[in-house]
Amino acid sequence: VTAFSPLEHTHAFQLPNGLQVYLKPDHRAPLVTAQAWVRVGSIDETQEEAGLSHVLEHMLFKGTRHFRADQISRWIEALGGSLNAETSREHTRYYIDVPRDGARQAVTLLSELLYRASFDAGEWNRERPVILEEIKRRNDDPESQLWELFNQTLFTHPRLRRPVIGYPATVEAVTPDVLRRFYERHYRAERAVVVVAGDFALAEMRRWVERAFRAMPGKGPPRDPLPQNNVFEPSSQRLEQPVQQSYVAFGFPTPPAGHEDEEALDLLAAVLTEGRGARLVDDLRETKKLVWSVNSFHLTHSGPSAFGIFFDCDADKRLPATEALMQALKRLRRNPPTEREVRRAKNLSHTGWLQSFETFHHQAAVIGSFAADGTIDRLPGYLARLQAVTPKRLSAVIDTYLGSLRLSDAVVEAP
Amino acid sequence: VNATTGRLSNGLKVIYRQSRRWPLATGTLLIPAGSFHDPAGREGLGSMAAELLSQGTRRDGAKRFADKLEMRGASVGASASDDYSELDFLAPENEMNEALALAGEMLAQPRFSAVELEKERRHTLASLRTRYDTIFNVAHDEFLRRLYGDHPYGRLTEGTADGLRRIGRRDLREWHRSRWRPSTAIFSMESSVPWSRARGILERAFAAWSPNGPVAAPANDPAIANSSGDSNVTSRFEQAFLMTGVLAPPAAHPDALALKIVNTVIGGGMSSRLFVELREKLGLAYDVSSFYPTRLRESHWAFYIGCSPSNLATAERRMEELLSEIADKGVTPAEFAQAKAMIRGNFAMEHQTGRRRGWYLAWWEFLGRGAEYDEQFLKRLGAMRLSEANRVARALLSKPRLTVRVVPT
């Protein structure tokens, strides 16, 4: 196993306002990525505010104190860069990738987005229909619909169940004032992480970041904690759509990021579906020929997380495929993954991890995600911990989480 | 470019770059065996052959073969596109030799087993249906079918249901023997090993790949329908979709680079004309863009928008106006400069990973420009003149276009 550390040459510091900063100079390519993570997402919304974090993500690009809406993307794109953002349940991430000469502009713009947005009413009137269109587009996409259903089956608390994108009615009701209040409450330096990776001089970049972000408001009202004992009651959801095949999800909630079982659950996903020889791929797809594809994942957050097994199949194969999956999961307890299966999964995970770290963008994204979850100390040792999971340990984790086979399920299929 | 080019004794052209940037060995093999070359009545053969290449060799069945690679944390897979098939290689450095030997075995002696063929056939037939769960595909497939007619570019790389049903093992073996020839392929690779050693490793890995018998005859270029006018399709979706476009120069054409720049002005990024006018100013759509794919033969240039059915007419009218405005007045110097910067930036992003760096070198060689074009590309881009770009834009935008509308039933 090649020595490699995701935090190699990374300089971490905190500004007086509480902003956490990670700078990772790397001169392998003449590029820089500047990313910001804000700890705000759909879990911070009330029912009436559903979709507000995502609306905000759109509106930050629609004008700030020093940039009009039409100047923001033009400024970065004229440098040969690109920018975008994404909202999830717990975080909103902004990222700007530029050739190295644009590094300072990228950092400056990132800071403008984070605390100098202007929320012009005219801009909001133009952006509202775009977001409503985005909702329609998701409604036309069976995989997006399956994802929403899946989340609803895992969690009972409304803050965890609501779609990140919100509902047409709640998006319609947003006003610039509502946006501004939400922004001032949640976009606080102590709730944010900035990561810059790529071809820059460390001291200079540190100065740029300090100058750009030192005026960002620090402390805000505390974030509403999520309910701790989220009791899991498996449930089922089925949505009828005129689709060509059945889209199926099974899963169960898992503990927050940083839990001692995290790496074993990650490894379990690789044992089940990574590569042609993985358990479920071999069984459901290659041998029994019941599904077109099958995937699994362990997705962690700082709050409740999830393990999912997704497959798609012909409509008439949905029941036999489900039965075969249950049998395979039962067998997993009787015949736990062998030493060889575990080694195979580890080797594939290791290559995948290395390959993904080839780009600055991904490096910064991973650092930001661990930092935003409050688990950055666990990042350097992640691969080593994954490699250290023994078949025995994996088997114990399987007993804990899959012992009773209490799984939720969601289906999108034709009537 | 800092790469070495050589030929192995089986005729395979190798472009090799020694790099210690990352502890992985990566490689891309390009070979002129795309869906364009599918024999009539066997549409989908090229794609099927590529998919089955990694599904077992004469020595090992699919499962055992995959296991050998996966135990090493390596992957080798092949796929076809319109003009070529591509084999991708990835291995941790300490497993490179063994993984390359497995890639060589796969290239020399694929099994094409009846069981795997049936499985792949069922998968592909199913995927031909399920792709219509996405509105973009409904519009795109109809657009290509109309624009190209019976020309191979008018159908999917995966083939047609009829073609797929007729493919047998003999077709696969003959396709592999006559089209997967080392002498017509290019393998571009990157690892930390010096070329002097890599050469020997590659010679050994690919030694058995030396097929006999005649090479496939060059495919002839069938006529392109080049339809214009309207085509309306009804669908189950909430949204409506519009796609409109024309035929456009092939990759090696002198106008291709100019068009790439103009395409970036019109549909590339968040400050492109389409994005700003139709999304930012009018709020008509979330998804609006354009594309000009790289093709060896006559390509196409298309503009699209997904919007509410009630906004479709407005979107279409505004898009029309915007395109005729560009045909009349051209793009501005500022837009032109920005598009060049975006292409340059994107080129640098793409060159971050070993796999993509290797792909570009193989592609330039495949196109007949030589791997060294990877350096010239940016110079050519810089030297491109605004008047050239506007001449190309005017010529293409004044042609009658084909317009496909997908609307709810």
Q: How far apart are CA A235 and CA A247, in angstroms?
A: 17
Of residues A371, A310, A396, the one with CA closest to residue A14: A371
Residue A311: what pLDDT?
98
Q: How many CA atoms lie within 13 A of B266 on its CB side?
A: 30
Name the pLDDT band for A221 (thresholds 50, 70, 90): very high
Q: Distance from A107 to chain B by nearest Cα, in Å?
A: 17
**Among all chains, which residue has been given the structure tokens 């797809």?**
A285
Q: Which of A4, A73, A127 sits opposite B270 (nearest CB)?
A: A73
- The tokens describing A403, both together, are 């012992």
Of residues B86, B67, B74, the one with CA closest to residue B26: B74
Ordered per-residue pLDDT tens for chain B, 409 residues: 689 999 999 999 999 999 988 899 999 999 999 999 999 999 999 999 999 999 999 999 999 999 999 999 999 999 999 999 999 999 999 999 999 999 999 999 999 999 999 999 999 999 999 999 999 999 999 999 999 999 999 999 999 999 999 999 999 999 999 999 999 999 999 999 999 999 999 999 999 999 888 888 887 889 999 999 999 999 999 999 999 999 999 999 999 999 999 999 999 999 999 999 999 999 999 999 999 999 999 999 999 999 999 999 999 999 999 999 999 999 999 999 999 999 999 999 999 999 999 999 999 999 999 999 999 999 999 999 999 999 999 999 999 999 999 999 8
Backbone phi and psi for residue A406, each to the nearest 5 degrees, phi listed first: -90, 100
Residues 6-65 of A with CB under 8 A from B: 28-31, 61
Residue-wise pLDDT for A50-65, tens only, equals 999 999 999 999 999 9
Name the pLDDT band for A1 (thresholds 50, 70, 90): very low
The reply to whether residue B119 touches residue A286, judged by beta carbons under 8 angstroms, is yes
The reply to whether residue A73 touches residue B269, judged by beta carbons under 8 angstroms, is yes
Mean pLDDT, all residues of chain A: 95
For residue A79, what is the nearest residue in chain B, using CA coordinates?
A: B341
- Say if A338 is an interface residue toward chain B (CB within 8 Å): no
B407 beta partners: B234
Name the pLDDT band for A3 (thresholds 50, 70, 90): low
Instruction: Give long-range contacts, CB 8 A cutoff, 24+ apart: A218-224.
Output: A218/A16, A218/A17, A218/A18, A218/A19, A218/A188, A218/A189, A218/A190, A219/A18, A219/A188, A219/A190, A220/A184, A220/A185, A220/A186, A220/A188, A220/A190, A220/A191, A221/A185, A223/A39, A223/A40, A223/A44, A223/A186, A223/A191, A224/A44
The reply to whether residue A359 touches residue B74, judged by beta carbons under 8 angstroms, is no
- The tokens describing A383, both together, are 């691969």
Average pLDDT for A347-366: 95
Residues 218-277 of A with CB under 8 A from B: 242-245, 275-277
Amino acid at B78: A
Q: Which residues contact B94 (CB under 8 A, 6 or more apart)?
A: A2
Average pLDDT for A144-159: 94
Answer yes or no: are the C-beta atoms of A24 and A9 closer than 8 Å: yes
Residue B1: what pLDDT?
64
Q: How far apart are CA A352 and CA B350, in angstroms?
A: 18
- Say if B123 is an interface residue toward chain A (CB within 8 Å): yes
Q: Which residues contact A357 (CB under 8 A, 6 or more apart)?
A: A4, A6, A363, A366
Residue-wise pLDDT for A20-43, tens only, equals 999 999 999 999 999 999 999 999
The reply to whether residue A348 touches residue B92, judged by beta carbons under 8 angstroms, is no
Q: How far apart are CA B306 and CA B320, in angstroms?
A: 15
| Residues of chain A found within 8 Å of residue B341, distances taken between Cβ atoms | 77-80
